[in-house]
Chains A and B, each alone.
Chain A
């Protein structure tokens, strides 16, 4: 029964969980810092709209955080249930990195979240701000450790293989492996962009519903400026990350670019449909020599094609398409955020068509992010740890029917929760406007701020 290939099933199940999980930390990592910004702006200026912004966005933060936590717990089990060979082969590397993530990040963010959400009035404002800071630090620390491990799986370093098991020779080289600085930066900026467009989109939605209080305006501005500043940085970092991949995982680059044959003066394929049977691109539109230029900075440089890697290369189609979706979304983000920033500077307001565009792009960060993850993760196949262990070698002996059954359960659950999440985010935005009575607004915030008298 080819359709129930356990390795494919295990990969689909793991990919489904990762796809669902990563949506939420991506928001909470940067949202934590945005909330800290709102809180400290309120502390510095005393202007109540910063607190209003905090109180609106902390609700979305809490919801996002909860979804990230529960899907993250699933991950901690699936490392072992889906890929037992992973830990038995490279457990000496992966184990400590995962352990440090739990110890330094998970407990910190989870415990401080309780104080951040429910502690106002029970602890002093200073302790509450500290809790907010620690939550933001916790989410970022978590990204640090898990991306160190993920990067190591792409560009393993600092270890030696002894009797089929990886043993660490240098922890510094393990953590700061060749792709880690690029991947971490690329991911953190992606998180910032996702939150920028989320802030802008939801605020535009509220604005068009005539909810035009100061906090909505402030959130809109913060979102647009965050996006406008980060997107050019992201394009630059993405390019550097690509060059790094060129050096360490050339097969991934060949798949991204749709280059089947090794050649000098390789073209940049703008469009084409990769065909794995003929090993060519159908309907190809390409600019001659451009790929050689931007990958090797030389019009005649040789670029390795898929044919250079035997059977150890990723499937071209998914990587090729995902890469184009990511780049396309990025360029759209550039256009929309700069256009919005320009209107903000000149008119201090956005035209309706632009507000509608921003609403449409509320979750555009997710699209670019997932496309990017598919590029890098599918692009690593067939390896689980590049050059060390393939996914097939690490797969488990679990009955395929059990994997299929639980996969169906997870997919149903995740689809339902994703729909519920997006609907509730927009519902909260709609409710925030209808609940506000303009006169009570500053007073409410002031009372809340005055409740700082210490309890603990």
Chain B
């Protein structure tokens, strides 16, 4: 733990903290929002036919672009508010970042190319869509692994990062399947229930792995979690996470029967539950890492830009962010309900 926090009444104290929160929220928004997009993309390969693929992509079509913008905001805040950390983090993650960008590029352009290119090329672009989603999701997990281990360059850490990559893919699939259960009907919806069941346990494994490894890597993090009285206050996080897994599992067990009867009650439960798990995991991670941007090396205060530059951006954030959230909510309301075919 940092021995003493900077004076939070001064701009040099509270501004970096505010921007760390903005960055964390942007990253969280990205992981949840583009997470379901990427999950749907990864599940694309399991669809029965072209029509199902069209429906799956139609369910994310109006949103993906704005969803991806949260990544630009998150990385943008890292760049403009914490330039010292930006160089270190992205320098250490140079190759996985390049892989992720290639994946996001493939996935993003495939949205348009698959419906606009010659019909016999559609299969190819669908494959690009799947591969792009896979690549982007896995590299993001790999980067998360690096962030947790503090970018240590040895075999075990790379293996751990690779494992987290696969677990994040599972978590994205769970999120994507939950989205499809909500947004589709019929055969596809019932398939999505099975997809969600398949990815549930690998997601749980990933969260368990991170929870076990993080305190072992850093003595500080161990003390943060297992000291008294923190343990009592933090205890609800793992308990609620486990409870959410149970709720999702039960819901997924009951849904097939209900859907057979044409009853759409509770189709939002797996998606909402998964978001809950993402929120709690994110909170746990943020608690572990705070106030470090790079574990045991760079704190958010040591990496921050000058207070006057942060102040200029702060005004913009205060005015514009609520507007962004406002029209994002509007866009989701416009496309509320079961997704329909997309044509323009």
Residue of B nearest to A88 (CB): B83
Residue of B nearest to A425 (CB): B116
If A91-B305, A114-B331 touch, does A66 touch B77 (CB 8 Å cutoff)? no
Instruction: Please determine whether A96 and B80 come into contact, CB atoms closer than 8 angstroms.
Output: yes
B344: contacting residue among A55, A65, A67, A103, CB under 8 A: A55
Shortest Cβ distance from residue A180 to the other chain B in the assembled complex, whole angstroms:
18
If A73-B101, A99-B77 touch, does A168 touch B66 (CB 8 Å cutoff)? no
Shortest Cβ distance from residue B272 to the other chain A in the assembled complex, whole angstroms:
22
Number of interface residues of B (CB under 8 A): 60
A103: contacting residue among B65, B87, B321, CB under 8 A: B321
Q: B84 at the A/B interface (Cβ < 8 Å)?
A: yes
Q: A371 at the A/B interface (Cβ < 8 Å)?
A: no
If A409-B102, A424-B113 touch, does A111 touch B328 (CB 8 Å cutoff)? yes
Q: Mark A62-76, 1 if CB is under 8 A from B, else 0.
A: 110111011111101
A115-123, A218-226, A262-270 - the one binding chain B: A115-123
Residue of A nearest to B111 (CB): A66
B37-45, B48-56, B92-100 - the one binding chain A: B92-100
Query: With a CB–CB cut-off of 8 A, which chain B residues contact A168?
Result: 308-309, 312
Shortest Cβ distance from residue A97 to the other chain B in the assembled complex, whole angstroms:
9
Q: B104 at the A/B interface (Cβ < 8 Å)?
A: yes
Shortest Cβ distance from residue A52 to the other chain B in the assembled complex, whole angstroms:
13
Q: B73 at the A/B interface (Cβ < 8 Å)?
A: yes
* A405-426, CB < 8 A from B: 405-406, 409-410, 413, 417, 420, 423-424
A123: contacting residue among B79, B105, B328, B334, CB under 8 A: B334
A396: contacting residue among B91, B112, B321, B335, CB under 8 A: B91
Question: In the bound complex, how far is the Cα of B117 from the Cα of A59, in angstroms?
Answer: 11
Q: B183 at the A/B interface (Cβ < 8 Å)?
A: no
A99: contacting residue among B65, B69, B76, B118, CB under 8 A: B76
Number of interface residues of A (CB under 8 A): 71
Question: In the bound complex, how far is the Cα of B257 from the Cα of A327, in angstroms?
Answer: 70
* A99-151, CB < 8 A from B: 99-100, 102-104, 106-108, 110-115, 117-120, 122-123
Instruction: Please determine whether B97 and A167 come into contact, CB atoms closer than 8 angstroms.
Output: no
Q: B109 at the A/B interface (Cβ < 8 Å)?
A: yes
Question: In the bound complex, how far is the Cα of B81 from the Cα of A410, in angstroms?
Answer: 28
Question: In the bound complex, how far is the Cα of B74 from the Cα of A401, in angstroms?
Answer: 28
Instruction: Please determine whether B116 and A424 come into contact, CB atoms closer than 8 angstroms.
Output: yes
B72: contacting residue among A65, A88, A102, CB under 8 A: A102
Residue of B nearest to A84 (CB): B87
Instruction: Please determine whether B312 and A107 come into contact, CB atoms closer than 8 angstroms.
Output: no
Q: B317 at the A/B interface (Cβ < 8 Å)?
A: yes
B327: contacting residue among A104, A111, A123, A428, CB under 8 A: A111
Instruction: Please determine whether A77 and B309 come into contact, CB atoms closer than 8 angstroms.
Output: no
Question: In the bound complex, how far is the Cα of B99 from the Cα of A405, in angstroms?
Answer: 11
Question: In the bound complex, how far is the Cα of B319 from the Cα of A104, in angstroms?
Answer: 10
Instruction: Please determine whether B102 and A95 come into contact, CB atoms closer than 8 angstroms.
Output: no
Question: In the bound complex, how far is the Cα of B333 from the Cα of A115, in angstroms?
Answer: 11
Shortest Cβ distance from residue A357 to the other chain B in the assembled complex, whole angstroms:
27
Instruction: Please determine whether B86 and A114 come into contact, CB atoms closer than 8 angstroms.
Output: no
If A73-B68, A117-B344, A420-B117 touch, does A94 touch B317 (CB 8 Å cutoff)? no
If A59-B344, A88-B84, A167-B306 touch, does A70 touch B90 (CB 8 Å cutoff)? no
Q: B320 at the A/B interface (Cβ < 8 Å)?
A: yes
Query: With a CB–CB cut-off of 8 A, which chain A residues contact B324?
Result: 103, 107-108, 111
Query: With a CB–CB cut-off of 8 A, which chain A residues contact B147?
Result: none
Query: With a CB–CB cut-off of 8 A, which chain A residues contact B63?
Result: 114
Instruction: Please determine whether B309 and A113 come into contact, CB atoms closer than 8 angstroms.
Output: no
Q: Name 26 A/B residue pairs within 8 A (Cβ), A-sorted.
A: A65-B65, A76-B72, A80-B87, A87-B83, A88-B84, A95-B309, A96-B312, A99-B317, A102-B69, A103-B316, A103-B317, A107-B66, A107-B73, A110-B66, A111-B65, A114-B331, A115-B62, A117-B344, A118-B342, A118-B344, A119-B62, A396-B87, A413-B106, A417-B105, A423-B117, A427-B117
Residues of A within 8 A of B (CB): 55, 58-59, 62-63, 65-67, 69-74, 76-77, 79-81, 84, 87-88, 91-96, 98-100, 102-104, 106-108, 110-115, 117-120, 122-123, 165, 167-168, 171, 396-399, 402, 405-406, 409-410, 413, 417, 420, 423-424, 427-428, 455-456
A84-B91, A456-B334 given. 9 additional CB < 8 A pairs? A69-B108, A71-B105, A74-B101, A80-B83, A87-B83, A96-B313, A114-B66, A118-B61, A409-B98
